């Protein structure tokens, strides 16, 4: 159908992909002369309800996204056919090569290259998973990742799903064998399901082999047999690709932090002895099951830290009035507490939320009892590990 004009504006240049009831076309916008991608879903007797639901969801979610590494939504129209019609999604075109094409051409990626790809994809997943509600791609694999102009793009949101933190209902089973997390086979997915798919994708890049064909010991990959992969990186990959959801990385931020600083940075929480509030402290702490607030004296007034079910925020106040913008992050990004000391000897407690850190420091410094008390209260309330 090269040369055909759809929507009175888009001239088809070639077909990019074809599945039952779906076509993906490369076309030229005759108004702007830019190349675009058209994704068509045919409305006919063979159309399945789940296919229509997924297509409509893809359109809806792409409208809400704005990220430099995700092709942009440009529009939508219906195209009339002799015996049916087609719903058509218009997206920006990214001229590049998929990671799958690279693998088919015999390219293997070094550990350093794979780590760079991991960081880029974790950045995209951080954006998607940090939306309210979270957006799960559900089909991350080499063919859906493009390399173009030294930049990575995540494409094909046809399996995308919005989920709230407490969602328990089952939904349509989607994904690709070898790259799909085990829980997706039962129609369930969480943000960590995308991390499993990322781990599978990275394994394919460093080995040149489909994840399902890699050597195994029992149900797990034999990482010792992966060529040119350090034990530390193999351990990190195994953490992402763990079939047991409880043992897998919980968030993209946690995975990125561990990739940059080592798995020990997100080890299991250390057991610490209970610590009481010092009688002479000027720090106040209010704590409920779903809300925590800490107020500390500072050189310029007060620092107020608040954590609820949705986010963590830190605000500077002077005479009870907020000064400047609050620092905020999603609550689910909190991965670690760290007791630290600055170059001038000032003791502080750091709360890591992904790559952001929240510094709690008193004037002139925490006393040891104050530090132990706040560390204990935060660690037990947040259920996160402590690094000293």
Catalytic residues: 139
Whether residue 130 contacts residue 101, with contact meaning beta carbons closer than 8 Å, is answered with no
Side-chain half-sphere exposure of 25, counting CA atoms within 13 A: 24
Give the separation between CA 332 and CA 170, rounded to whole angstroms: 22
Cα radius of gyration rounded to whole Å, the chain: 25
Task: At 18, list the tokens.
Answer: 């074809």
CA distance 214 to 216: 6
- The C-alpha atoms of residue 45 and residue 81 are separated, in whole angstroms, by 14
Report residue 367 CA to chain centroid gap: 38
CA angle (221, 223, 225) in 5-degree steps: 110
Give the pair of three-digit tokens for residue 287.
Answer: 């704590």
Residues in the chain: 388
Q: Which residues pair with 19 in a beta bridge?
A: 22
Q: Are 200 and 99 in contact (CB under 8 A)?
A: no
Q: What share of the chain is helix, strand, coil (3-state, %, to 5)?
A: 30, 30, 40
């Amino acid at each position: 159908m090269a040369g055909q004009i759809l929507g009175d504006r888009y001239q088809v240049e070639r077909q990019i992909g074809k599945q039952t009831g779906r076509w993906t076309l490369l076309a030229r916008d005759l108004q702007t002369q830019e190349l675009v991608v058209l994704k068509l879903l045919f409305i006919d007797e063979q159309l399945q309800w789940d296919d229509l639901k997924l297509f409509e969801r893809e359109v809806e979610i792409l409208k809400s996204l704005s990220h430099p590494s995700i092709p942009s939504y440009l529009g939508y129209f219906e195209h009339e056919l002799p015996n049916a019609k087609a719903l058509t999604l218009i997206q920006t075109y990214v001229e590049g090569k998929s990671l799958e094409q690279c693998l088919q051409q015999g390219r293997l990626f070094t550990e350093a290259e794979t780590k760079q790809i991991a960081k880029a994809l974790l950045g995209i997943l951080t954006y998607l998973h940090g939306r309210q509600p979270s957006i799960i791609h559900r089909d991350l694999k080499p063919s859906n990742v493009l390399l173009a102009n030294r930049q990575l793009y995540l494409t094909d949101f046809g399996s995308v799903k919005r989920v709230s933190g407490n969602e328990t209902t089952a939904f349509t089973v989607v994904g690709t064998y070898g790259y799909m997390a085990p829980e997706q086979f039962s129609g369930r997915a969480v943000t960590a399901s995308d991390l499993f798919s990322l781990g599978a994708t990275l394994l394919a890049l460093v080995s040149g082999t489909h994840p399902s064909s890699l050597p195994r010991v029992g149900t797990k990959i034999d990482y010792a047999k992966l060529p040119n992969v350090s034990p530390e990186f193999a351990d990190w990959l195994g953490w992402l690709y763990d079939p047991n959801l409880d043992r897998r990385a919980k968030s993209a931020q946690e995975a990125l932090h561990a990739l940059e600083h080592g798995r020990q940075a997100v080890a299991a929480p250390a057991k610490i002895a209970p610590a009481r509030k010092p009688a002479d402290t000027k720090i106040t702490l209010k704590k409920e099951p779903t809300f925590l607030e800490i107020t500390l004296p500072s050189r310029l007034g007060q620092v107020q830290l608040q954590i609820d079910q949705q986010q963590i925020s830190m605000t500077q106040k002077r005479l009870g009035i907020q000064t400047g913008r609050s620092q905020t992050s999603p609550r689910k990004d909190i991965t670690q507490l760290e007791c630290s000391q600055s170059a001038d000897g000032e003791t502080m407690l750091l709360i890591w939320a992904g790559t952001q850190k929240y510094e709690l420091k008193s004037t002139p410094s925490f006393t040891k009892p104050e530090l132990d008390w706040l560390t204990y209260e935060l660690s037990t309330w947040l259920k996160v590990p402590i690094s000293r």
